[in-house]
A and B are shown apart, each in its own frame.
Chain A
Amino acid sequence: MPDLNFSLSPVGEDKRKDHGIFTGATVRNVYVIGVGMTQFGKHLNRSLRALGFEACLNALRDAGVRPKEIEAGYCGNALAPSLQGETGVGQNVFWEVGINGIPIVNTENACASGSTALREGWMAVAGGFHDMAIVAGVEKTVMPKGTMLNVGGAEMETQLGDVFPGYFALIARKHMERYGTTREQLAKVSVKNHFNGTLNPYAQFQKPLTVEEVLNSMMIADPLTLYSCCPNSDGAAALILCTREKAKKVRPRAVRIAASVLTTGTYENQRDITGWEVEQRAARKAYEMASLGPGDLEVVEVHDAFTISEIIHYEGLGLCPPGEGGRLIGEGATDLNGRIPVNPSGGLLSKGHPVGASGVAQVVEIIWQLRGEAGKRQIRNARVGLAQIMGGNKEGDTRACTVHILIKD
């Protein structure tokens, strides 16, 4: 494909068998052996720890692992300190399932908080510090009607009146202006993801939408309408990670983490806002780590906080050349039965977006797909999946972006 530079590093088959080779350092392969999540949506009467408990217990049961076997815990959460007045969510949640005494780390990287926790857990196991770890993402952002989320208040842009949908509207309008992307193509992202959501019992919204319904819903920031934006949600998700040795007893269900990458924005002042360099860089590095390219992917979950985001992520991940994301959704290539299905879970738009939990839940979906356990939305024979999420606006750029590649060997 033109304009793409996803170089593959030559890695010997023999070495890859037991060790991943990443940018010169030799690290251990890490497997996901258990996954769990709550339904995403409104859980007004359930606490953060109650949601986290359900997700972690499901993951432990799924792995067939007891709490005392876990050697470290990593928990992503973005907004509990400001919304619930709660800090140390990881210690609270993990103790609910009987995990104490071990190192526990809380991570905050806005929407990438949960996926950052996964990367921390991956590093700990890959680096030989722990043989088994738990990763969780937990969030409650559904507030009583009329309550405004107070996010980003320390930024000059927010104080001047910038709002999340407005920032993405600027990007959408630039993409439309430069590449001819249409409002209908933007709307189709929401239509596709809401359809997928109807097949996912964990999704917040279970109703299909038409292009007309998306276009005619309330205008939020031109061209983004209400159904072009993901909702506020409550929910939790969890994963159990371990070494190849530990994964042996559950081998048929284990999924290997072939790449785990975290990048930070460069805040380049006059950058091209129709793409995120922070994401292109993360994707390149992830493909290099996994020794594969975008053409090898069979299922993808991306951060569709707004419809335009998904279109730009197609381009950033190399699923299509820059500027052709609108055409890719338009021709149905990313539908469940398309060439490269994206957001089979329903994505943030339909499944919901409990900020710190979303990055972990994307990986839960990829693993269900790779194991063949995704029910009505199952993609046939999927073996290689990718999850991408990014978070936090800073100076018109993105603070953090993660890309994970998962392979069912």
Chain B
Amino acid sequence: MDQSWEVVQEGLFYYPLDAGQVPALLANRCTHCGKTFFPKRNLCPHCFEEGVLEDICLSHRGIIYACTVVHIPSPVGIKAPYAYGYVEIPQNQIRIFALFTGADPFTFTPGQEVGLVVEPIRENQNGQEIIGYKFKPISSGH
């Protein structure tokens, strides 16, 4: 049976989510040097074969490091204007590229707290929904 959706890239996050399951980005971490990698790597570039990579889920909370608003439609089919940037995940000491959602694209600012969502980001030529990950504002104290 044809699926009505496709993930943007295999192995980035759990999808579809079971009822009550929290969205999470799938990463791995070198047990030797402690570095975290997203997307997952097959080998730690620092420790080579002395390192063992263990699977982890990244914390779903991050802080915006840098952001912009793109005013032209993206070649992969995202409508303008849309916001994106880099999100730092303090708990995992990693920075990841991400689209922003859940607010006016012009309102995102560096230092802002954001939380992970997994949802459609665009459609492909066959009308299938492409599922990706994004970050949305979260009010502090949540």
Chain A positions within 8 Å of B, measured between CB atoms, are 148-150, 153, 156-163, 165-166, 169-171, 173-174, 177, 218-222, 269-270, 273, 396
Contact = CB atoms under 8 A, between A and B. Distances in A.
Given A161-B121, A161-B122, A177-B110, A169 B68 contact: yes
A160 B94 contact: no
Contacts of B70: 161, 163, 165-166, 169, 220-221
A26 B124 CA distance: 55
B69 interface: yes
Contacts of B8: 156, 159-160
CB-based closest 8 A-B pairs: A169-B68, A148-B75, A161-B78, A170-B66, A219-B71, A161-B74, A221-B70, A166-B70
A163 B71 CA distance: 11
Contact of B12 (A156, A166, A170): A156
Interface of A is mostly: mixed
Contacts of A174: 65-66, 110
A171 B86 CA distance: 11
30 contacts: A148-B75, A153-B76, A156-B8, A156-B12, A156-B39, A157-B97, A159-B130, A159-B132, A160-B84, A160-B132, A161-B70, A161-B82, A161-B121, A162-B74, A163-B70, A163-B72, A166-B84, A170-B68, A170-B86, A173-B67, A173-B110, A174-B66, A174-B110, A220-B71, A221-B69, A222-B68, A270-B95, A273-B66, A273-B86, A396-B86
B57 interface: no
Interface in B85-101: 85-86, 88, 93-95, 97-99
Given A160-B8, A161-B122, A218 B71 contact: yes
B95 A269 contact: yes
Contacts of A171: 66
Contacts of A150: 75
Contacts of A270: 88, 93-95
A148 B75 CA distance: 6
Contacts of B76: 153, 158-159, 161
Contacts of B67: 170, 173
A156 B12 CA distance: 10
Contacts of A218: 71
Contacts of A173: 66-68, 110
B40 to A, nearest CB: 12
- Find the residue from A148, A160, A166, A396 having the highest chain B CB count within 10 A: A160
Contacts of B94: 269-270
Given A159-B9, A160-B121, A270-B93, A166 B68 contact: yes
Contacts of A165: 70, 72
A351 to B, nearest CB: 23
Contacts of B88: 270
Contacts of B71: 218-222
Contacts of A177: 110
A175 to B, nearest CB: 10
- Find the residue from A149, A157, A165, A174 having the highest chain B CB count within 10 A: A174
A148 B72 CA distance: 12
A177 to B, nearest CB: 6
Nearest to A268: B95
B75 A163 contact: yes
Given A161-B78, A170-B66, A270-B93, A156 B9 contact: yes
Interface in B28-72: 39, 65-72
A370 B20 CA distance: 69
B75 A162 contact: no
Nearest to A148: B75
Contacts of B82: 161
A162 B71 CA distance: 12
A222 B84 CA distance: 11
Contacts of B65: 174
A216 B99 CA distance: 26
Contacts of B132: 159-160
B75 A170 contact: no
Nearest to B130: A159
A157 B66 CA distance: 15
B127 to A, nearest CB: 17
A148 B9 CA distance: 22
A153 B85 CA distance: 18
B66 A222 contact: no
Contacts of A148: 75
A150 B75 CA distance: 7
Contacts of B85: 170
Nearest to B88: A270
B109 to A, nearest CB: 10
Nearest to B85: A170
Contacts of B122: 161
Contacts of A156: 8-9, 12, 39, 97
A218 B81 CA distance: 13
Contacts of B68: 166, 169-170, 173, 221-222
